[in-house]
Structure 1
Amino acid sequence: MSEGVVAIGNPLAVAKVLRHHPELKQRKGLFESRQIDFFRYKRFVRALKSEEYAKKSKNQPDVYPVVGEVEESDARARNVFISLIRAQLVVPSTKLHSEECKEHGLTPSKEFPNLILSNKAVLQPDEYYVWNYNPKTLTDYLIVIGVISAILALVCYPLWPMFMRRGSYYLSMGALGLLGLFFAMAIVRLIIYLVTLPLTKSQGGFWIFPNLFEDCGVLESFRPFYGYGEKECYSYLKKVKRNKRKLTKKEKASAQKSSAE
């Protein structure tokens, strides 16, 4: 990062506009044992050149520095980005491979890549940066209000009218019934697997609701109704898609390299 560059505009205001900008194509990752959003530097430059940011900078150039599409646009975008780094709104990082995670004492994750703090902010197109700015959304405030309201309602249980107490009783009994049904289904599922295993061992065993204990949505947990081995599991299918994307990227990179030669 070059010295002597003066921070321009309002870095916090710029961060508010671009924090969830679609041009960033940001992904979820793990940074210092917490979930974060990260992106490539080139994506941030594209977001600064977007129509949304251009309108902001046209109306308030003192707050949102003008970048534009002129020859100096990359240098201007660089200065804006440096101001965000100096304000510690974004942090330079390095994305680790599975083997590198073990070297840094981190546990590789199938869902999210691990990132570590980089010692130097290199403003190159494919360098990764992590957001250190997470503004509160309307959903966050609604969740807090909902939790506080639920706690107050439970504390005031003795003051509830009789029909509300009776309703809460039936509701709790229904929840316990569903929980018992879930455990019964899990036991029956395991019994069926063990009984059919000698016949379906070559296929990996027969499972009812193979995604029941997978890390997926509620509806996905009950789809499909049955499956063999792990090939019907949500995590396996996701792994296949991820490997397919990696293979496609490698093929594109090799094709570009061969065409350049």
Structure 2
Amino acid sequence: MSMEQQAKAPPDMKKVAQFLRSGSAGVKVRVGALNGKRIDYFKGKSAVKALLSPAYAKQKNMPKITTETEALTVLNAVNAFTFFLRVQRGGPSGSSSSSPKSLQIIQEQKFAPDEYYAWFYDGSQWTTYAGGILMVAIMLGGVMFPLWPPSMRLGVWYLSMCMLGLIGLFFAIAIVRLIFYIITVIVASPGIWIFPQLFADVGFVDSFIPLWEWDLPKKKSKKKKGDKHKDKTSDADKLKKNGGAFVEEVEDSGNSRPQSRSAKIEEVEDEDD
């Protein structure tokens, strides 16, 4: 029944469903259990946010949406063609708390941001079909390798040798740079790295730039002097705050009790006088 309803959907509504089902929409998809089968579901407000996003605004041949009301209208229209159905979410379907939540289809269908909706549409499948065909072709090509023409087999052999040579060259560079670094650490501390960006997360060309670099430790960020003395106040400021009284800690001497510190208040003249 769902497939028949989806086939009757206008092209623009189908494109909206395809957009929401794609990863570019950013709809948070969760996994639930409906009639013992796992199924994807989402919350309504996530779909509303996707239709109001810049990614949707870049789409062509789709309804123009600028407000939340327009988004709800479009989502109600998509819901009418059973691309997704309103469901009620229950507790975990299994004994574990991490099991998928059990879902149950609600008879009254409408779209609301606070409700949950289960997907009954898998989106465009051309990538899946293309990947399957390509995998089958590769497997057949490998099985039929003895039947290949001699020129093709020779070309594959040269190609495989080139790949192995590149891998061997990479390992050789890694070993040589490590040996060179150990030598330079002993001879010319702190040491020199050849191709310091070789294992960095950069492009292929940037991995070999620069050619060499000193192994200098990273500088730690130093606090500014102004920050260290930010909370310190001068004696003059203390005098002003204490109303001309200078508070000084002195040691209290006495044989009957251990030495302790006490506060002594002394009147001093204001500096302004």
- Determine if the TM-score, normalized by the shorter chain, exceeds 0.5: no
Query: Which protein, 1 or 2, shows the higher relative CO under an 8 Å CA cutoff with sep ≥ 6?
Result: 1
Name the TM-score, length of structure 2 as normaliser: 0.42
Write 1 or 2 for the structure with the bigger share of helix.
1
Name the TM-score, length of structure 1 as normaliser: 0.43
**Bigger radius of gyration:** 2
